[in-house]
């Protein structure tokens, strides 16, 4: 079945630095979504990418969908303490109804 | 908009008893709801997909007789863990897909239910 792999599993970042988390699918995706889960909280939808090569920005967050629609990345610039949490990518394969979630990247920030 | 509630938020039950968890979409209609299970510091594992008015679709390895799902209306889905055992202790999260939205794909998650079976 479809597998979504996400790296790194943990990201410890100095406040103010940039980092990127990567998501790779074993199959071509119809779309990819990103969610953020704060410690003790539930996943919150961030964004959805649909088109090949699509790039979307949300303030300091930049999301990219690969040309082959099998990979995606989330880049955060000037990390802040509010960025702490686990970021999940979730992909829906073509001809599938469900999302497959990656393992998540748990981000901690040192001031 | 797009608020999903889940009740109860925490429940402790004795081994062998059953527990019902409710998932409600508060301000939109959800033809499809999903039930996930999340272990500590782990990802979301899809258990089943619940469609209003029809039988749920269970993922491989999930016992449908143990995890009973009912989606009686466009705003309510329930998950009943029957004859619960300590290994069923987990964080159960539901999500709902807002089918009327233009994109129609994103899922809105409930706050989750922490089940502890003693």
pLDDT tens readout for residues A46-105? 999 999 999 999 999 999 999 999 999 999 999 999 999 999 999 988 877 788 999 999
| Residue A15 CB coordination number (10 Å) | 12
* Alpha-carbon gap, residue A73 to A62, rounded angstroms: 8
Kindly write down the DSSP assignment for every residue of A44-88, as one continuous string. Answer: EEEEEE-STT-EEEETTEEEEE-TTSSEEEEEE-S--GGG-EEEE
The 10s digit of each residue's pLDDT in A15-60 is 999 999 999 999 999 999 999 999 989 999 999 999 999 999 999 9
Distance of residue A15 Cα from the nearest chain B Cα, in angstroms? 23
* Residue-level pLDDT at A94: 81
The residue of chain B with its CA nearest to that of A34 is B106
Least CB-CB distance to B106: which of A45, A101, A103?
Answer: A45
Least CB-CB distance to A31: which of B43, B105, B109?
Answer: B105
Distance of residue B102 Cα from the nearest chain A Cα, in angstroms? 12
Chain B residues whose C-beta is within 8 A of a chain A C-beta are 32, 34, 41-44, 46, 49, 93, 95, 103, 105-112
Contact A33/B111, CB-based, under 8 Å? no
* Residue-level pLDDT at B103: 54
Q: How many CA atoms lie within 13 A of A39 on its CB side?
A: 8
**Low-confidence residues of chain B: pLDDT under 70:** 1, 99-104
Residues 6 or more apart in contact with residue A57 via CB below 8 angstroms: A63
- Which residues 51-80 of A are in CB contact (within 8 Å) with B? none
């Amino acid at each position: 079945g479809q597998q979504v792999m996400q790296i790194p599993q943990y990201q410890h970042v100095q406040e103010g630095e940039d980092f990127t988390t990567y998501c790779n699918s074993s199959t071509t995706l119809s779309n990819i979504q990103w969610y953020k889960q704060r410690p003790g909280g539930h996943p919150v939808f961030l964004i959805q990418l649909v088109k090949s090569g699509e790039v979307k920005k949300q303030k300091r967050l930049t999301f990219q969908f690969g040309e082959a629609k099998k990979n995606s990345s989330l880049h955060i610039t000037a990390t802040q303490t509010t960025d702490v949490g686990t970021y999940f990518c979730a992909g829906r394969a073509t001809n599938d109804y469900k999302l497959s979630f990656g393992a998540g990247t748990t981000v901690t920030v040192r001031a | 908009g797009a608020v999903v509630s889940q009740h109860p938020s925490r429940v402790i039950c004795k081994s062998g008893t059953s527990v019902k968890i409710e998932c409600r979409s508060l301000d939109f209609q959800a033809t499809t709801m999903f039930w996930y299970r999340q272990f500590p510091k782990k990802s979301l594992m899809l258990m089943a997909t619940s469609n209003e008015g029809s039988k749920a679709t269970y993922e491989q390895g999930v016992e449908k007789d143990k995890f009973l799902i009912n989606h009686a209306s466009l705003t309510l889905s329930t998950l009943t863990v029957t004859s619960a055992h300590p290994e069923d202790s987990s964080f159960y999260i539901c999500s709902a897909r807002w089918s009327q939205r233009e994109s129609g794909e994103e899922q809105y998650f409930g706050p989750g239910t922490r089940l502890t079976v003693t």
